[in-house]
Structure 1
Amino acid sequence: MTVVAHLSDPHIGATAASVDRLDRVLAEVGRLPRLDALLITGDLADHGLPDEYAAFFAALPPAVPTLVTPGNHDVRDALRPFVPAAGAGPVNSVLDVADLRLVGLDTSVPGRDEGYLEPATLAFARNAIDQAPGRVLLAMHHPSIPVGNPVLDGMALTNASALTELVTSSPSVIGCLTGHVHSGLAGTFAGRPMLGAVGIVSTLRIDGGTDPLEDRTAMPGLALHTIDDSGGIITVFHALAPGTT
C-alpha cells in the first residue's frame, strides 16, 4: 500500500492569503497517520516569480518525498532551480516510492493557458515508464477530460491522443493525476482513472459560471490517494473545515 497526498493550484502570490492557505493544507497533511509521498500538480506560483517559488518550496515538509509539476501560471526558468533533476526544456521529473513511480510531466505552454505534451516530454515519459520498478502514476497539470466549464474546457490538454498512446501502450500505468480545475475531479481516460485535486487558492464555481470563474472564499483541500497492492486506487477528497489551523 502507498499513500500519496495530492495538492494542486496554490497560486502563491495570487492573494495575501495564498501562503496561509497552503500552510493550512500542509498542516492537515502532517496529521495523516501514514504518508509516503506528496504531489503538487501545478500553478505553484501565480506570476512565476522566483520569490513566489521560494515561498512555496519553503512551506513544504522537508522530510516527505515530494514531486511537483508546472502549470500554466508557472515559468520554467524560474521554477527550474528548485527542481534539481530538471534539465533544459520542459520541467519533468520522477519520484519512486517503493515499487510505485510518480512521473511528473510538464504540460505548460509558455505564454498560453492550454496544455500540451511536447515531444521531449513524451520521450521522457516513455523512458520513465519503461524503466519503472513497478506501477506508474502519471502526474500533470492539465486534464484531458471535460469538466463542464467552458473556460476550463477551453484550456485543457490539447494533444490528448498522445497521452492516450502513453497510457494504453503501458500496462504499468494505473492512472493520471491532474490539477488546473481547482476542484476534485474523478473520471476515466483511456481506460484508467483520471483524478484531480481540490484547489488550494480557490474552488471552481459549481454552477459553471465564468464571472467570476472561482470562489476564493471556499475552503482549500486536497486529494488523498491510496494505491493498494493490486494497483487499485482509492481516492478521498478532503476540504478543510472553517477555522482549521
Structure 2
Amino acid sequence: MRLIQITDCHLHADPAARSRTGVPHRQFVRVVEEAASWRPDMVLVTGDVSQDETAASYALAERELARLDCPWSWLPGNHDEPARMAECRPFDESVDLGQRRLLLLDTQVPGQTHGALGAARLEALAERLAEDERPTLVAMHHPPVSVGSRWVDALGLVDAEAFWEVLATHERVEAILCGHIHQAFECRRATPHGEVAIYACPATSDQFLPGAETFAVDAAALPGFRVFDLGDALSTRVERVAL
C-alpha cells in the first residue's frame, strides 16, 4: 500500500497568479504529475488547497487530482473555506488503508492562522480510535509539535497537549501526517505505548526556511511530496519536483 501526501497548494482562481517565488498552479500540476508516476494507492492533501478561498480554486485542484489513477482525499487548512471545499469534494473522516486506517482531522479555527481541535473533536477522536484494532495514521493540517521555528510554532495547534493526552490512552496511533509548515520535517514523540512519528512534507507552493525565527521563504528549495510505503512496517521519503 502506497500513500502519497501533498500539501499547501495555495491556489487562486486565476491559474496564472503568482506567489512569492513562483506560480502555485503550475507547481501543483507538476507535483501531481510526478506523484502519479509513483503509482500511489491513495493520495492525501493536508490542507491550504486554496489561497483566495474561491470555488474556482477548488475546481482547479479537483480537476488535477481527478486525473489520478487512485482515490484521493483532502482536509481543510487555515486558508481554506470548508463549505466551498466540501461542495467541490466532500470530506472523508477515515480511509481504509488495508492493514491500517487513516483518520482525517479538521484543525481549522475560522478566521485564525493557528489551529485547534477543541473538546468535541477530541472526544470524537477518542471514540474513533477505540473503534478499530488496526494501526492508525492521523492526518491534520496543523502540526501537534514544535518544528523548531519560532514564528511557525506560534501558529501551530494550540491544544496540542490535549491531543497527546487522547493519544496516551490509545496504543494504535503509528504516525501523524501534517501540513502547514511548508517544509520537510519529521520527529518522534514518546507516549505510554511507545513512540509516535510526526511527518510533514514540502508544499507544492512556496517553501519556508527551516529554523527561521521570523517569516522567511526558502527560495532555493523545490516543491515536493511525501511517499509512505505501508507494509509490515512504515517507511517514508520526501521527493522534490523539478520545475
Please report the TM-score for the alignment, with normalisation by the length of structure 1.
0.86
Kindly report the root-mean-square deviation, in angstroms, between the aligned alpha carbons of the 2 structures.
Answer: 2.0
Mapped contact 1:101–1:133 kept (Cα < 8 A): no
Q: Unpaired runs of 5+ in structure 1?
A: 87-91
Q: Give the structure 2 partner of residue 3 of structure 1.
A: 2
Report the equivalent of 1:67: 73
Which letter maps to 1:73?
H
Match of 2:179 in 1: 179
Q: Match for residue 197 of structure 2?
A: 193
Shift >3 Å, 4+ stretches: 215-218
Q: Identify unmatched segments of 5+ residues in structure 2.
A: none
Please state whether the residue corresponding to 1:183 is helix, strand or coil: coil
Does 1:234 find its partner at 2:239?
A: no
Q: AA paired with 1:95?
A: V
Aligned to 2:217: 214
In structure 2, distance between residues paired with 1:11 and 1:171: 35
Figure out how many residues of one structure are paired with residues of the other and give that number. Answer: 231
Assess if the C-alpha contact under 8 Å between 1:7 and 1:197 holds in 2: yes
Query: Measured at CA, do residues 120 and 15 of structure 1 come closer, stay the same or move farther in structure 2, by a change above 3 Å?
Result: farther
Query: What code does the residue aligned with 1:214 have?
Result: V
1:10-25 aligned within 5 A: 10-13=9-12, 15=18, 17-25=23-31
Map 1:1-245 onto structure 2 (within 5 A).
2-13=1-12, 15=18, 17-32=23-38, 34-60=39-65, 61-84=67-90, 86=91, 93-132=93-132, 134-189=134-189, 190=191, 191-206=195-210, 208=212, 210=214, 213-215=216-218, 218-229=221-232, 232-241=233-242, 243=243
Tell me the distance in 1 between the aligned counterparts of 2:210 and 2:68: 35
What is the CA–CA distance in structure 2 between the aligned matches of 1:214 and 1:64, rounded to whole Å? Answer: 32
Cα pair 2:48 2:80 within 8 Å, conserved: yes
Report the equivalent of 1:89: none
After TM superposition, give the deviation of residue 68 of structure 1 in Å: 1.1
TM-score normalised per structure 2: 0.87
